[in-house]
Amino acid sequence: MMLFTLKNHPFPVEAFFRRSLVLTFAAPKEELERLIPECLQLDTFQDRWAFIAVAMVDTTGLRPKGFPRAFGSDFFLIGYRVFVRYTTVAGKRLRGLYILRSETDSRRMEYLGNLFTHYRYSTTDIQLDGDSIRSERSGLAVEISTDGKEALDPGGGGEVPLPVGSPFADWAAARRYAGPLPFTFTYEKSSGKVLIIEGVRENWEPRPVKVDRYRVDFIGQLQLNQVRLANAFVLENIPYHWKKGRTELWRP
């Protein structure tokens, strides 16, 4: 119980995202239900598709909110998250993410992340080369095109095609599944407590991009039979902060 409390985001945190590339994968909802705790529901599309986001974020200045920039940590994050919904005790429906796994190129971030969060951090190798991101240890390689052909008008689709097999008909629908989302959830089954972390963002303008090549071994390890790439978005220069975590007792 004491360890759970320490890891419950005990203070607000702020950071700056230099760049965030998010690939969202779709699979039939029946295949993803086993990945989330009983207190959460999948955030589905057309009551058929559920989603996992792979977020690759170049982060700077992560620190307790209000602390000088010198106290901040700079690191690269790879996060694997399921799109979910949670209904509070008061009956409010919240839309957010459930963390499956987090990877970073900073051992300091691994230590602090596992001390103050439930995000399951591990250290990995990460190489950045323009629009290419690679990690040999994690079995991840992503190459995108950002040659001026981004779909700047998500409603119109622009010049970037949706990934082949995407369940979305257009970028307007796909944009609803461009993380991060306002909330992140953690569940302690033994106590029945749900931890709710609210994020606050600025300059939120996700731009659809074309994925030329990708390899994400973690998705393959989940053994999903009908998984496919659904969308890909880039965001840049995003001030972000997380409020102090709050808990409540889940009532089935």
Cα–Cα distances (Å) from 55 to 6, 15, 90, 124, in that order, read 25, 16, 31, 15
Nearest to 85 by CA among 177, 151, 202: 177
Please count the structural domains in the chain.
Answer: 1
Which range of residues forms the domain containing residue 64? 2-249
CATH of residue 186's domain is 2.40.400.10
Q: How far apart are CA 80 and CA 98, in angstroms?
A: 9
Asked if 209 and 233 count as a contact pair (C-beta separation under 8 A), the reply is: yes
* DSSP letter string, 19-39: EEEEEEEEEEHHHHGGGS-TT
Instruction: Output the tens digit of pLDDT for each of the chain's 252 residues.
Output: 444 566 888 889 999 999 999 999 999 999 999 999 999 999 999 999 999 999 999 999 999 898 888 888 899 999 999 999 999 999 999 999 999 999 999 999 999 888 888 888 999 999 999 899 999 999 999 999 875 444 444 444 457 899 999 999 999 999 999 877 889 999 998 889 999 999 998 878 899 999 999 999 999 999 999 999 999 999 999 999 999 999 999 988
Q: How far apart are CA 144 and CA 54, in angstroms?
A: 14
Whether the model pTM is above 0.95 = no
Q: Find residue 199's DSSP bridge partners.
A: 242
Asked if 98 and 40 count as a contact pair (C-beta separation under 8 A), the reply is: yes
Amino acid at 57: V
Backbone φ and ψ for 116, nearest 5 degrees, come out as -115, 0
